[in-house]
A and B are shown apart, each in its own frame.
Chain A
Amino acid sequence: MQISDEIFEDKVLKSERPVLVDFWASWCPPCKMMQPLVDRLHEELTGTAEIVSINIDQNPQTAAAYKITGVPTFVSFRNGQEVARKTGALTENQLRKMIDTASEQNQAA
């Protein structure tokens, strides 16, 4: 699911669930090829976690606020706080692990 600067706060920072944000760009082949996997996880985890994508060129404010220096960058959030980030394409296992870590953060809080 694509989000934008305007709804980033509502969708990510104010979310009651753990969130994984995929920062991407149209000129980045790994980003484009990761999209179907990211979308599949979004569908599968609906109700448990939010998996969202944001285009850094179309949404420069968020990209700058989170100091994105390479794409794709995956950042996980819990209760509005950044939990973890990884830059570069990730495997499905690695993506799931990031979501799980953010979920565990929830229980600790």
Chain B
Amino acid sequence: MSEPTACHNANQTCWSCPAVEFKGHVDFRACGQAAFRKAAEGQLVVECKRRPEIGYFDPTSITFEHCTEWKKTDSGYLLDGMRVLILGMDGYLGWPLALKLAKQGCKVYGIDNLLRRKLVADRGAQSVIPIETMENRVKAANEELGVDIDFREMDLLDRDALFAYIKEVQPESIVQFAEIPSAPYSMADVDKAVDTIQNNVVGTLGLLFGVRDHAPDASIIKLGTMGEYGSPLTGRPLFEGLFPGDAVLQYKGEEWSLGGELTPRDPVSFYHVSKVQGTFSVYEACKYWWLRSYDVMQGVIYGNHSDELSAHPSLATRFDIDEWWGTVVNRFVAQAVIGMPLTIYGSGNQLRGYITLKDAMQCITRLIAAPPEPGQYDVVNQVTDVMSVKQIAQTVATIGAEFGLDTEVQRIENPRVEAEEHPYEVIHDKLSENFGFTSESSFEDEVRGMFEVLTKPEAVARIKQQESKLFPTTKWSGETAKLKVLETWKPEIKDKAA
């Protein structure tokens, strides 16, 4: 047995390293039926693309800990100068990830068609925290953090351009963030539903062919959402994408193992449907072509902070708060800041998984550092806290009081079709157990940090300019009548001194 080590990926070997090339008869398809034919070719060997002078060797013989190309970082061993391609680099998540990876020594490349900026503007909304153009951001990253980021304005659906870029960059990891991320947008009308499906489903599908043909050894980090699972009323745990090995199906006196089969998906909007389709596309590509991927079921994300973002105002990431583009916690803080009641949909007892922006970036970096094995498709539930919408409103109101804000909470008719009373047991063990993730932020601290930024006069002004876009109007039914207010109250704020 080897000694326990601090790094989650110390014992991984060249077998999962994107910098090696397999040599010999490499045909892993057909569910193992190629094993006969392979045997004649002898043992499987690899050649290191970075150190070809070693010659061919056994891929399990060198660990990341002992390879000179892998350097120890805060996120585990990281392939020195790893080439990471971020699709959707201009987004809420794409930009902070680019900065974090670049700071950790990765060579970061990215594309974006700047669609999010356009869609938010079309809605009559704007990022509460002003953001620079991509050109200026890349320049600021260089000046403030001393890193070089290669950005190209490009549409994921422009496959000729995308494939040429993949061929040029030869990425060792690819992060797929280039998707339209709004449930209400996808439910607003037929054009928006079709746009969401077209961009997300077709974009990801095309990408997979590009990876197959030009960067088959790269790990694909695919962003999914916890909303792919829905919230089963039976209380069945939400496993991490695949049933565990001891899950059993019993029926009419017989039993079968469910181990490793995809767990049921029950998406809650056409946006979530697009994410489920993405999951299946990636799963199939791993099966057909021996691609490798982590599919990240991310909880609702919130916050605006990371060490790199905070280095200079011109490095800020976007922060949306309107009904379509703002996530619930970010929206509640903005509502509290301008004295608007926090709008809870229906009972407010809906339970969801949440994670801060900073923690999410740590998780993604750790996944990149520990690539899947060849052909491996795996799923992680990227969540730190499970909370009800009511609890969130209560905490936001309580912390708002520290900033002198007197906040009301309002229950309104639920515009969505969803269970309002339901069990919710999320399994989220892999990131902490297998990838060494430890949360670096708490809900309260992150909300406090958001209030500090959003209570500044210029931010308040930018919230007020889009006040009419904060109250929800998009009903899943397609009806346009204004949503009824069911109840309004002032949460009890416990005196800290008491």
The CA of A108 and the CA of B59, in the complex, are separated in Å by 43
The CA of A94 and the CA of B290, in the complex, are separated in Å by 30
Question: A105 contacts the other chain (Cβ, under 8 Å)?
Answer: no
| Set of chain B residues within 8 Å of A25, measured between Cβ atoms | 28, 32, 375
The CA of A36 and the CA of B375, in the complex, are separated in Å by 20
Q: Are A67 and B290 neighbours in the complex by a CB distance under 8 Å?
A: no
The CA of A25 and the CA of B258, in the complex, are separated in Å by 17
State which of B33-41, B82-90, B312-320, B385-393 sits at the interface with chain A.
B33-41
| Set of chain B residues within 8 Å of A63, measured between Cβ atoms | 32, 35, 38-39
A27 in complex: contacting residue of B257, B258, B262, B376, CB < 8 Å: B376
Interface string of A62-102 (1 = CB under 8 A from B): 01110111110100000000000000111111100000000
In B69-103, which residues have CB < 8 Å from any A CB? none
Q: Are A64 and B38 neighbours in the complex by a CB distance under 8 Å?
A: yes
Question: A106 contacts the other chain (Cβ, under 8 Å)?
Answer: no
Chain B residues close to A by CB (< 8 Å):
15, 28, 31-33, 35-36, 38-44, 59-60, 242-246, 248, 255-262, 286-287, 290, 372-378
| Set of chain A residues within 8 Å of B36, measured between Cβ atoms | 64, 67
**Chain B proximity of A86: nearest CB distance (Å):** 10
Q: Are B33 and A89 neighbours in the complex by a CB distance under 8 Å?
A: no
**Chain A proximity of B462: nearest CB distance (Å):** 46
- A-B pairs with beta carbons under 8 A, tally: 119
| Set of chain A residues within 8 Å of B39, measured between Cβ atoms | 60-61, 63-65
The CA of A27 and the CA of B243, in the complex, are separated in Å by 16
Instruction: Please tell me the number of chain A residues within 8 Å of chain B, measured between CB atoms.
Output: 37
| Set of chain A residues within 8 Å of B375, measured between Cβ atoms | 25-28
**Chain A proximity of B180: nearest CB distance (Å):** 28
Can you report 17 residue pairs joining A to B where beta carbons are below 8 Å apart? A26-B15, A27-B374, A30-B245, A30-B261, A31-B260, A32-B376, A33-B242, A33-B260, A34-B257, A37-B259, A38-B245, A57-B44, A60-B44, A63-B39, A64-B39, A67-B36, A68-B32
**Chain A proximity of B220: nearest CB distance (Å):** 14
**Chain B proximity of A101: nearest CB distance (Å):** 17
In A7-37, which residues have CB < 8 Å from any B CB? 23, 25-37
Q: Are A30 and B259 neighbours in the complex by a CB distance under 8 Å?
A: yes
The CA of A29 and the CA of B36, in the complex, are separated in Å by 21
The CA of A94 and the CA of B254, in the complex, are separated in Å by 11
Q: Are B376 and A89 neighbours in the complex by a CB distance under 8 Å?
A: no
The CA of A69 and the CA of B35, in the complex, are separated in Å by 7
Q: Which residue of B lies closest to A73 (CB)?
A: B32
Q: Are B245 and A37 neighbours in the complex by a CB distance under 8 Å?
A: yes
Question: A58 contacts the other chain (Cβ, under 8 Å)?
Answer: yes
